[in-house]
């Protein structure tokens, strides 16, 4: 059993941010009830799908991953009956985590006053693009928009000479996953405070824009400490830190500390240029990278990716191959760690999923059940008999 | 009372991944005590000094990600240093470390040793490859996790090479996953009195946020091709050039109604009826041409006017922000996300604060990042009960350097 066994969570609003936030909790043992509109969560339509199953609501890889261990209840929160059924569920919940945009919260029965009055111990965690206040509260967004608004895209992509290439988002929905992670952090912290201090419930306002801003490394520090504006068109703060071409493909070269550079220089056979004053420390090497890069590139080009990666490991250098997804699935190390998990599903069949991000010694992370079918648990969770369920379906409430 | 007031974290983490995790606990009100030493200096205390004047307390990197923590300088290579660290563990709820796997064991601080001094201790060990498996002894850094995890191979412009993502993404991602794990373990301890050991691999945490890549490989036998800012499902979806120097606006158009609105905003109502763009499938097929049509409108216009016009028509759009934009942004300023507290050596600088806000027990960053060893005496005296004289004796022996 996971560490959160017994915790009761309800999820609403859909998308990757709240989906990942509650997946973290569900996989650690919390009982998560996922509310979906009658047409299903938007991530059901996103894929990736197996060939021939495009658009199949039960077979999208993202949905299947994000919703392990959860139960699904369909409920139309824009109807008064739907809201009443939703509110009836809040009585014994610990946490409501949702992604309904601020201007739509009241209409869907999610305004804090209403929720708090129904269950004063409930913690409500609202994840939004721009937060619950401020002049752009009601602006529309998406993962791409959050990546741009939080300042991440501006420092990604490009490279020297890449002026015509736009700012770039990282693959996937990274702004949203981080939004979900920070929401889970705040929610667990507040729930712990409730248990430890006997305090009541409260409302957590998570802005994905601020979450992105909080992790873009040196972007703000460069500005505040050096008056520099970080850009994807500029250089790195230290070098070497680069993707370079080895004999058989790209490899990643990195020396964060000067002692690591010294070990790398020794490996390269202590070439004369490495003793030049202009390469004397990590900052100088960053300034003179245009001069240094060709020397290193020449050495890198004479070796294979594997030689550089494993040779680096042996010398306490954090070099890396540019892994493909196939490489990960075939990794002997990840196999021995039991990282990937195989799980059956009534519609999607047996599939391999990314597994536990951590191993708990006493309360293991576990997959207890696959992602739910749309509305699979509506009757069970809402306590409806067959007749009532049929009537509510007809009225398109569930 | 802040949610984690009364929780103490003995923090052996350094660089970025671990400190980013314990930063979240400090944000929630925990007493995070960073154990460090000038003899094994946290490398980000050198990144990058304010106004180019060197000094271990002047680094923006360190000062951003260690806000609200206390610092004890302690030489862990000495028997007395170890003893003091163990005394601190005995008074802590959580121990966090992100040395390479095995380093803490060699110092004598393995989980089994630590639980002898504090039976319900929660220990998180955050390493590149995890505490088991053939690669476990090896080091890694956050930047290397971007290629290692496969994120680099998935990120990049269409037809172009793999790309990094501008930051050492493996670090904050591992750190925040670590924070979730610690809090979950604290919840379990609150309920049962039981502590535990958490083994986190940076690499695995980085793969956990790549479901679109892994599941495509599993379901389709190949991974998605690099596609810049484009979306699997929607179009147009990208970042478009505006008037001015390196000025851009991001736009995500997700429904037919939004596309019709977009065509009206860019004064091209003809496009929504054009067979090349009339359906989503057609727009995906002709995305290059469609993007040119949009760029033709944006590139002569101010990015804020573009974003505001698009938002006024209920479209998701926002300028791509630079650091200069962010620190001056009226929305972010109104939200109060920046922290500007006086620091003994660098004065008032802008830092990013807490990206969530609580209605009943507000959390704010109350003190800036600590100077190296700033709280050594205070912690020895107030937490461990040392008198002034023994502290001085230990200092003379160089224990607190």
pLDDT of residue B101: 67
Query: What length does chain A have?
Result: 398
Locate A37 and state its tokens: 């509109």
Nearest Cα neighbor of B25 from A118, A136, A31, A188 is: A188
Same domain, A247 and A98: no
A253 SS3 class: strand
Residue A91: CB atoms within 10 A of its CB come to 10
pLDDT of residue B262: 98
Mean pLDDT (whole number) for B323-347: 98
A203 SS3 class: strand
Locate B241 and state its tokens: 């050039």
Q: Would A61 be classed as within a structural domain? A: yes
Same domain, A155 and A15: yes
Q: Would A133 be classed as within a structural domain? A: yes
Q: How does the average pLDDT of chain A come out, rounded?
A: 96
- Rounded to a whole number of angstroms, the CA Rg of chain B reads 25
Q: Which residues of B touch A28 (CB under 8 A)?
A: 184
Q: Would A352 be classed as within a structural domain? A: no
pLDDT band at A162 (very low <50, low <70, confident <90, very high): confident
A110 SS3 class: coil
CATH fourth-level superfamily of B8-209+334-396: Crotonobetainyl-coa:carnitine coa-transferase; domain 1 (3.40.50.10540)
Mean pLDDT (whole number) for A148-171: 94
**ipTM computed for the complex:** 0.98
Q: Is the pLDDT of residue B102 over 80?
A: no
pLDDT tens figures, B287-310? 999 999 999 999 999 999 999 999
Same domain, A63 and A113: yes
Residues 6+ apart with CB under 8 A from A275: none
Q: Is the pLDDT of residue A14 over 90?
A: yes
Same domain, A316 and A387: no
Q: Where are the alpha helices (DSSP H) in chain A?
A: 16-27, 61-66, 80-89, 102-105, 112-118, 143-149, 174-197, 208-214, 219-226, 258-267, 282-287, 289-301, 305-314, 325-330, 332-337, 378-382, 386-394
* Interface contact A148, partner B, CB < 8 A: yes
**Taking each helix axis from N to C terminus, what angle separates A174-197 and A16-27, rounded to the nearest 10 degrees?**
50
Domain(s) labelled CATH 3.40.50.10540 in chain B stretch across 8-209+334-396
The correct answer on CATH 3.30.360.10 for the domain covering B237-320 is no
Give the residue numbers spanning the domain of A389.
8-215+358-394
Same domain, A37 and A88: yes
> How far is B133 from A174, CA to CA, in rounded Å?
27
Residues 6+ apart with CB under 8 A from B346: A225, B50, B57, B58, B63
Q: What burial letters (b/e) apply to B71-109, b meaning 16+ CB within 10 Å?
A: bbbbbbeeeebbebbbbbbebbbbbbbbbbbebbeebeb
Q: What are the backbone dihedrals phi and psi of residue B202, each rounded to the nearest 5 degrees, phi first?
A: -55, -40
Annotation says B171 is catalytic: yes
Same domain, A247 and A377: no
pLDDT of residue B326: 98
Q: Would A282 be classed as within a structural domain? A: yes
Q: Would A340 be classed as within a structural domain? A: no
Nearest Cα neighbor of A209 from A101, A153, A129, A98 is: A129
Q: Would A77 be classed as within a structural domain? A: yes
Q: Which of A168, A197, A205 is facing B163, going by the closest CB pair?
A: A168
Task: Tell me, yes or no, if the pTM score tops 0.90.
Answer: yes
pLDDT tens figures, B160-182? 999 999 999 999 999 999 999 99
Give the CATH number, domain containing residue A313: 3.30.1540.10
Determine whether the interchain pair A172/B161 forms a contact, defined as Cβ–Cβ distance below 8 Å: no
Determine whether the interchain pair B214/A354 forms a contact, defined as Cβ–Cβ distance below 8 Å: yes
Same domain, A175 and A49: yes
Q: Would A162 be classed as within a structural domain? A: yes
Determine whether the interchain pair A316/B152 forms a contact, defined as Cβ–Cβ distance below 8 Å: no
Mean pLDDT (whole number) for A306-327: 97
Q: How many domains does chain A have?
A: 2
Question: Which residue shows structure tokens 């922290």?
Answer: B339
Own/partner pairs, A43-52, CB within 8 angstroms, 24+ separation: A43/A14, A43/A15, A43/A16, A43/A19, A44/A374, A45/B233, A46/B232, A46/B233, A47/B216, A47/B232, A47/B233, A48/B212, A48/B215, A48/B216, A48/B219, A48/B220, A48/B224, A48/B232, A49/B219, A50/A348, A50/B219, A50/B220, A51/B220
Determine whether the interchain pair A148/B250 forms a contact, defined as Cβ–Cβ distance below 8 Å: yes
CB A28 within 8 A of CB A21: no
DSSP letters for A260-307 = HHHHHHHHTT--GGGG-GGGSSHHHHHHTHHHHHHHHHHHHHTS-HHH
Which residues between 286 and 325 in chain A have a beta carbon less than 8 angstroms from any beta carbon of chain B? 313, 316-325
Q: Is the pLDDT of residue B100 over 80?
A: no
Domain(s) labelled CATH 3.30.1540.10 in chain B stretch across 237-320
Among the three residues A304, A326, A348, which one is the final residue of a domain in this structure?
A326
Query: What length does chain B have?
Result: 401
Q: How far does A86 lie from chain B, in Å, by closest CA? A: 22
Q: Which of A151, A215, A321 is facing B323, going by the closest CB pair?
A: A151
Same domain, A173 and A267: no
pLDDT of residue B151: 98
Same domain, A195 and A118: yes
Locate B389 and state its tokens: 């004289």
pLDDT of residue B48: 84
Q: Would A156 be classed as within a structural domain? A: yes
Among the three residues A275, A304, A326, which one is the final residue of a domain in this structure?
A326
Among the three residues A326, A346, A369, which one is the final residue of a domain in this structure?
A326
Give the CATH number, domain containing residue A26: 3.40.50.10540
Comparing A177 with A236, the larger pLDDT belongs to A177
Same domain, A26 and A102: yes
Same domain, A273 and A369: no
Same domain, A183 and A68: yes
pLDDT of residue B119: 98
């Amino acid at each position: 059993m996971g560490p959160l066994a017994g915790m009761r969570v309800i999820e609403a609003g859909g998308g990757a941010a709240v989906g990942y936030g509650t997946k973290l909790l569900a996989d650690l043992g919390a009982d998560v009830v996922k509310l979906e509109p009658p047409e299903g969560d938007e991530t059901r339509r996103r894929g990736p799908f197996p060939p021939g199953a495009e658009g199949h609501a039960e077979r999208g890889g993202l949905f299947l991953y994000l919703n392990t261990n959860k139960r699904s209840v369909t409920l139309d929160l824009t109807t008064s009956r739907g809201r009443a059924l939703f509110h009836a569920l809040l009585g014994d919940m610990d946490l409501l985590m949702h992604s309904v945009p601020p201007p739509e919260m009241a209409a869907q029965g999610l305004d804090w006053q209403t929720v708090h009055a129904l269950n004063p111990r409930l913690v409500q965690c609202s994840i939004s693009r721009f937060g619950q206040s401020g002049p752009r509260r009601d602006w529309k967004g998406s993962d791409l928009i959050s990546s741009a608004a939080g300042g991440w895209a501006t420092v990604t992509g490009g490279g020297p000479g890449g002026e015509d290439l736009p700012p770039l988002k990282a693959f996937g929905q990274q702004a949203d996953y981080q939004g979900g992670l920070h929401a889970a952090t705040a929610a667990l912290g507040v729930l712990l405070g409730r248990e430890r201090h006997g305090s009541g419930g409260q409302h957590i306002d998570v802005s994905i824009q601020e979450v992105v801003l909080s992790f873009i490394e040196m972007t703000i520090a460069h500005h505040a400490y050096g008056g520099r504006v970080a850009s994807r068109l500029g250089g790195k703060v230290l070098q070497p830190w680069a993707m370079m071409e080895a004999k058989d493909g790209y490899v990643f070269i990195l020396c964060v500390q000067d002692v690591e550079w010294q070990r790398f220089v020794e490996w390269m056979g202590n070439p004369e240029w490495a003793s030049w004053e202009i390469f004397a420390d990590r900052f100088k090497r960053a300034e003179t990278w245009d001069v240094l890069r060709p020397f290193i590139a020449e050495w890198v080009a004479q070796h294979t990716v594997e030689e550089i990666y494993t040779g680096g490991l042996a010398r306490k250098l954090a070099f890396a191959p540019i892994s493909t997804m196939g490489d990960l699935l075939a990794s002997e190390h990840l196999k021995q760690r039991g990282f990937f998990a195989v799980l059956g599903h009534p519609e999607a069949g047996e599939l391999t999923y990314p597994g536990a991000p951590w191993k708990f010694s006493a309360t293991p992370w576990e997959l207890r059940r696959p992602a739910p079918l749309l509305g699979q648990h509506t009757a069970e969770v809402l306590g409806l008999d067959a007749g009532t369920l049929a009537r509510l379906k007809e009225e398109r409430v569930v | 009372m802040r949610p984690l007031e009364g929780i103490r974290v003995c923090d052996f983490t350094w660089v970025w991944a671990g400190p980013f995790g314990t930063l979240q606990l400090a944000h929630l009100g925990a007493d995070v005590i960073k154990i460090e030493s000038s003899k094994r200096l946290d490398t980000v205390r050198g990144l990058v000094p304010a106004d180019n004047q060197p000094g271990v307390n002047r680094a923006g990197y360190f000062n951003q990600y260690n806000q609200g923590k206390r610092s004890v300088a302690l030489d862990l290579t000495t028997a007395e240093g170890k003893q003091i660290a163990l005394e601190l563990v005995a008074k802590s709820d959580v121990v966090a470390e992100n040395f390479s796997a095995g380093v803490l064991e060699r110092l004598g601080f393995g989980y089994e040793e630590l639980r002898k001094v504090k039976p319900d201790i929660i220990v998180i060990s955050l390493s590149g490859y995890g505490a088991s498996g053939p690669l476990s002894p090896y080091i890694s850094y956050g930047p290397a996790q971007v290629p290692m995890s496969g994120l680099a191979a998935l990120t990049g412009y269409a037809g172009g090479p793999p790309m990094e993502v501008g930051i050492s993404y493996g670090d904050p991602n591992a750190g925040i996953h670590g924070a979730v794990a610690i809090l979950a373990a604290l919840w379990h301890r609150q309920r049962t009195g039981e502590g535990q050991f958490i083994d986190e691999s940076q690499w695995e945490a980085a793969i956990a946020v790549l479901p679109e890549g892994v599941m495509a490989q599993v379901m389709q036998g190949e991974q998605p091709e690099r596609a810049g800012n484009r979306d699997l499902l929607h179009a147009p979806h990208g970042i478009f050039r505006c008037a001015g120097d390196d000025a851009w606006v991001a736009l995500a158009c997700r429904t037919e109604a939004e596309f019709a609105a977009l065509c009206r905003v860019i004064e091209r109502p003809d496009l929504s009826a054009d067979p090349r763009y009339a359906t989503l499938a057609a727009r995906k097929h002709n995305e290059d041409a469609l993007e040119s049509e949009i760029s033709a409108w944006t590139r002569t216009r101010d990015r804020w006017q573009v974003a505001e016009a698009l938002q006024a028509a209920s479209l998701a759009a926002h300028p791509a922000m630079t650091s200069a934009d962010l620190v001056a942004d009226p929305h972010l300023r109104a939200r109060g996300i920046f922290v500007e507290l006086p620091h003994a050596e660098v004065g008032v600088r802008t830092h990013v604060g807490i990206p969530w806000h609580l209605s009943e027990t507000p959390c704010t960053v109350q003190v800036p990042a600590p100077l190296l060893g700033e709280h050594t005496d205070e912690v020895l005296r107030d937490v461990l009960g040392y008198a002034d004289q023994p502290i001085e004796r230990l200092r003379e022996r160089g224990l607190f350097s």
